[in-house]
Structure 1
Amino acid sequence: MLDNQREALRQEALAEIALLDTPPEREFDVLAKLAQRMLGTGMSSITLIAPERQWFKARCGPLAPETVRAQAFCPVVVETEAPLTVADARLDPRFAESPFVTGAPHIRYYAGVPVRARRPAGDVVTIGTLCVLDERPREPTPTDLEVLEELACLAEALIEARAVALRAAETAEEHRLTAERLERERRQFKQAERMADMGSYRYDIEKQSTTWSDGVFAIHERPVSGGVPGDEIMNHFPEPDRSTFVASVMRTLDTGEPFEMEADFVTAKGNVRRVRCSCEIELAKGRSVALIGLIQDITERHNLEQRLRHQARTDDLTELANRAEFHRVLDARLREARSVDGDVAVLLIDLDGFKDVNDTLGHAAGDAVLRKVADRLRASCDGRSFPARLGGDEFAVVLSADLDRVGVDRKVRRLLHDLEIVMDGQGHIARVTGTIGIAWSSVAGQDRDMLLRQADAALYAAKRSRKGTAQTYRVDANHRQVG
């Protein structure tokens, strides 16, 4: 696709989500602050790229509300649709003469990742970035982009939620349901704001004694009057995090290198939490005298991230995995197969007669059919078999690695029977069946795209032959599909 066509799609996507030039929103501000704090930079932003300018939906540090697009960093991320790190912009010929480098805000370090939006048609378009910047050069670490990409997923989920709200305004009922969902998400993001529940501690190396601030007692759910417990402190960390924490502390004592880690945690009252722990050496006259650090309750943020990851990987209607999660799991299974010279079977399933259900019985009945199909796929997919809804009335299954071709044939026959669904209502009866295309990774050269194309070819060969049946992709000596 030509650059001007991609640019046109990007601007259409921006117009559809109606996010440009909107007032500040705390949810976006929280994400920008998280990026700045977690990476320890002077500046951060969530940036949208308009035709002639870059506009900051959220920003931290000495950044203007918007700037020209020319010679800026974020447009490079958007145009290449790839993460970008710049250790020292003065040494990078792309940016050395940029006014943002030679003048305010005097950018030296930059790390940014794409932020994407899903259009109503289903295609995904890069519309901006989530980035951090600093006035001092620094070498990027492997985790910089990982942190930004995790936070960018949250930004994309929030943008998607806003877009859904706009589209849902078509009917009052859809608007009500979407507003409720957005309000739930708003509450979740407000929970993330309150994650700065922390306390400090100090371990005196010579006296071998520990002191806590009140915040540490609160996180442990212990009374301040009871003092710091003795040897049982480590019991709050379940394994394997306990061993990891102890090893990290000993390494800090031996080398002087600080550490930071996240860990599971159980309070004195038995409540399970997630905490972030940091530790470093306190020096006095060049001698190590104490370990000092922070412990922070990040349970709400951690749980929020887990829920959002689930939402990003799950189809709302059926609660099956969505297309993106299906591709991720299939890629992992193919890597396993390649490592052991194994085989992976994929089933592509298309529902026959589904349109008649929608036309004669209504979309509510169609949704009920999709949920029934999902339930039956789940019931039949034991072990490592993995079902997903790819979209519309299309489903897919990655079969368990321990199934041979006989086992797959048995599984397919059962599925064909289970996918026969009869719906009635309003004086009408509609029948739905499933047609299945089967492909094996060994035939596809362990290539995901080829495997799915072959399964698709087998599916449509089965449809041409007789709907409600299954066919396996095979090739003859001339590499022609034979059934």
Structure 2
Amino acid sequence: MLQGTGSNTQREALRQQALIEIALLDTPPEREFDALAKLAQRMLGTGMSSITLIDPERQWFKARCGPLAAETPRAQAFCPVVFETEAPLIVADAKLDRRFEASPFVTGAPNIRYYAGVPVRVRRADGDTITIGTLCVLDERPREPMAADLEVLTELACLAEALIEARAVALRAAENAEERRVAVEGLERERRQFKQAERMADMGSYRYDIEKQSTSWSDGVFAIHELPVSGGVPTGEIMNFFPETDRALFRAAVERVLDTGEPFEMDADFVTAKGNARRVRCSCEIELAKGKPVALVGLIQDITERHGLEERLRHRARTDDLTQLANRAEFHRVLDARLREARASDVDVAVLLIDLDGFKGVNDRLGHAAGDDVLRRVAERLRASSYTGCLPARLGGDEFAILAPAACDGARLSAIVQRLLHDLEIIVDGQSQIARVTGTIGLAWSREAGQDRDVLLRHADAALYAAKRAQKGTAQSYSVQVGQATAQGRRVSASKLAPK
């Protein structure tokens, strides 16, 4: 543990006091924190991750993934450095870092080589933020540090801080409830609202009085609508903040609440009074008095940033980084969905596998940068308007795939293949050398594969390699009747490409 005097000692005392106040140490596992640690591990592709709290003698893991103990001594650990400096830390290779090369966590289990961690902070009553722990990822192998690692961890740390703040708010509310014990009905309403707020990181609450047909908002709801509190609730215009589709869904959900008494939550698009687009989460439930419904109460939360993060994460998980085409997992996901539809309606689905000829020579003679440029050029051509309705994907290396449009007949597929064979001819000129890349295509239909994804891809792969044996830069279609791929040259007919 780093030693310090004066202001450092005072700061350490403040951090320890803040840690005591949130009462999170030595608490049981909680699903939200565990999910956050797993998300960090998955996003950064490391073997370990943790949400760590630091007390005077130890580091204790509120959530952990990988071969980490429940707690370890603070001395010679990584997270205490982030805790004490209150700044992010990346260690590319701990065995080459003087601070950690002799650490027992490096020389022995869990054999840490790579570490990236950011502070997790809480806000104190005086408005100051203080570090109480870290969100970090670790790995048994060294790796090149990337700025994006800290950016992702910083965004996820914001979520961890929101979870801790919601938990702290819940703790304070419970203490206040014990002290006051007043207004049973009011406390019951606040308890329900607070429970929802704890789950949704409270942004604002509303209450609709059924008898008076009047609505009241908290200040947070006015802020989400970008309306002044002094102007009052715009009762006649409330639903106009939602687009028509979401407006109808919201109204139907409220009607179900009134009919069944079951609460609901829904996410919706939203446009503020100033015309700003937002994404919000709405909840609603019935407030009872003497067993009768008297009001609708709920929360509305601005989740625009969270929604954007989720969309970015979803896009990243489904997209090949180099070409920005769908990756293998996304291609399989869409293909599986199309095959389910095909099984239900007895239609045929066509898949084309593409292998680039001469690509290895580009890498060997002109370098990997030239090879990457070829892959990007291929991707750009596969996104052309002539392939509208197709789903192009990069499966890995120089292997691509295309899922043909729904209800694609042999004539249209023939045109697509002819166009592909032309578009996949690429001339690469660099370093006073010229290289030529072409594409060989294997085609298969889902009916011949029994609407089974693995069989369908095996058929297309067999057709692809048969085409390569016959002549590179050509296309072939798999034939079930003869039990092998049948050769087709560069000019492929509609009848030959149609399913047998």
TM-score range, shorter chain: 0.5 to 0.7
In the alignment, the residues of structure 1 paired with residue 153 and residue 440 of structure 2 have an alpha-carbon distance, to the nearest angstrom, of 41
In the alignment, the residues of structure 1 paired with residue 326 and residue 257 of structure 2 have an alpha-carbon distance, to the nearest angstrom, of 42
In the alignment, the residues of structure 1 paired with residue 460 and residue 422 of structure 2 have an alpha-carbon distance, to the nearest angstrom, of 20
The residue number in structure 2 matching 1:128 is none
In the alignment, the residues of structure 1 paired with residue 208 and residue 226 of structure 2 have an alpha-carbon distance, to the nearest angstrom, of 20
In the alignment, the residues of structure 2 paired with residue 410 and residue 59 of structure 1 have an alpha-carbon distance, to the nearest angstrom, of 58
In the alignment, the residues of structure 1 paired with residue 328 and residue 406 of structure 2 have an alpha-carbon distance, to the nearest angstrom, of 20
Cα shift at 1:279: 1.6
Q: Which runs of 5+ in 2 are unaligned?
A: 1-23, 42-47, 54-58, 68-134, 163-199, 488-500
Cα shift at 1:444: 1.2
In the alignment, the residues of structure 2 paired with residue 323 and residue 211 of structure 1 have an alpha-carbon distance, to the nearest angstrom, of 50
In the alignment, the residues of structure 1 paired with residue 376 and residue 264 of structure 2 have an alpha-carbon distance, to the nearest angstrom, of 47
Candidates 309, 313, 316, aligned match of 2:321: 316
Instruction: Report if aligned partners of 2:442, 2:462 keep a CA contact under 8 Å in 1.
Output: yes
Letter in 1 for 2:275: G
Partner SS state of residue 449, structure 1: helix
Query: In the alignment, is residue 226 of structure 1 matched against residue 231 of structure 2?
Result: yes
Query: In the alignment, is residue 327 of structure 1 matched against residue 320 of structure 2?
Result: no
Cα shift at 1:166: 4.7
Do the aligned partners of residues 454 and 366 (structure 1) sit closer, same or farther apart at CA in structure 2, a change above 3 Å counting?
Answer: same
| Structure 1 stretch displaced more, 206-215 or 221-230 | 206-215
In the alignment, the residues of structure 2 paired with residue 266 and residue 357 of structure 1 have an alpha-carbon distance, to the nearest angstrom, of 51
In the alignment, the residues of structure 2 paired with residue 305 and residue 35 of structure 1 have an alpha-carbon distance, to the nearest angstrom, of 21
Structural mapping, 1:259-270, within 5 Å = 259-270=264-275
TM-score (norm 1): 0.64
Instruction: Report if aligned partners of 1:201, 1:292 keep a CA contact under 8 Å in 2.
Output: yes
Query: In the alignment, is residue 463 of structure 1 matched against residue 430 of structure 2?
Result: no
Query: In the alignment, is residue 204 of structure 1 matched against residue 197 of structure 2?
Result: no
Do the aligned partners of residues 237 and 327 (structure 1) sit closer, same or farther apart at CA in structure 2, a change above 3 Å counting?
Answer: same
The C-alpha deviation readout for 1:212-258, integer Å capped at 9, x for no partner, is: 11111001100011011121111111122212212222222333322
Letter in 1 for 2:223: A
Candidates 440, 464, 478, aligned match of 2:445: 440
Cα shift at 1:424: 1.3
RMSD in angstroms over aligned alpha carbons?
3.6
Q: Which runs of 5+ in 1 are unaligned?
A: 1-28, 49-54, 68-73, 79-157, 170-174
Query: In the alignment, is residue 57 of structure 1 matched against residue 50 of structure 2?
Result: yes
TM-score (norm 2): 0.62
The residue number in structure 1 matching 2:156 is 189
* Rg (Cα) greater in structure: 2
The residue number in structure 2 matching 1:275 is 280
Query: In the alignment, is residue 412 of structure 1 matched against residue 405 of structure 2?
Result: no
In the alignment, the residues of structure 2 paired with residue 303 and residue 361 of structure 1 have an alpha-carbon distance, to the nearest angstrom, of 39
Cα shift at 1:191: 5.8
Do the aligned partners of residues 163 and 360 (structure 1) sit closer, same or farther apart at CA in structure 2, a change above 3 Å counting?
Answer: farther
Do the aligned partners of residues 66 and 229 (structure 1) sit closer, same or farther apart at CA in structure 2, a change above 3 Å counting?
Answer: closer
Do the aligned partners of residues 418 and 45 (structure 1) sit closer, same or farther apart at CA in structure 2, a change above 3 Å counting?
Answer: closer
In the alignment, the residues of structure 1 paired with residue 283 and residue 218 of structure 2 have an alpha-carbon distance, to the nearest angstrom, of 15
Letter in 2 for 1:319: Q
In the alignment, the residues of structure 2 paired with residue 338 and residue 46 of structure 1 have an alpha-carbon distance, to the nearest angstrom, of 39
Partner SS state of residue 337, structure 1: helix
In the alignment, the residues of structure 2 paired with residue 244 and residue 164 of structure 1 have an alpha-carbon distance, to the nearest angstrom, of 49
Letter in 2 for 1:267: T
Instruction: Report if aligned partners of 1:197, 1:298 keep a CA contact under 8 Å in 2.
Output: no
In the alignment, the residues of structure 2 paired with residue 221 and residue 380 of structure 1 have an alpha-carbon distance, to the nearest angstrom, of 41
The residue number in structure 1 matching 2:370 is 365
In the alignment, the residues of structure 1 paired with residue 415 and residue 296 of structure 2 have an alpha-carbon distance, to the nearest angstrom, of 62
In the alignment, the residues of structure 1 paired with residue 340 and residue 382 of structure 2 have an alpha-carbon distance, to the nearest angstrom, of 24
Q: How many residues align?
A: 344
Do the aligned partners of residues 375 and 238 (structure 1) sit closer, same or farther apart at CA in structure 2, a change above 3 Å counting?
Answer: same
Letter in 1 for 2:210: I
In the alignment, the residues of structure 1 paired with residue 371 and residue 387 of structure 2 have an alpha-carbon distance, to the nearest angstrom, of 26
Partner SS state of residue 203, structure 2: strand
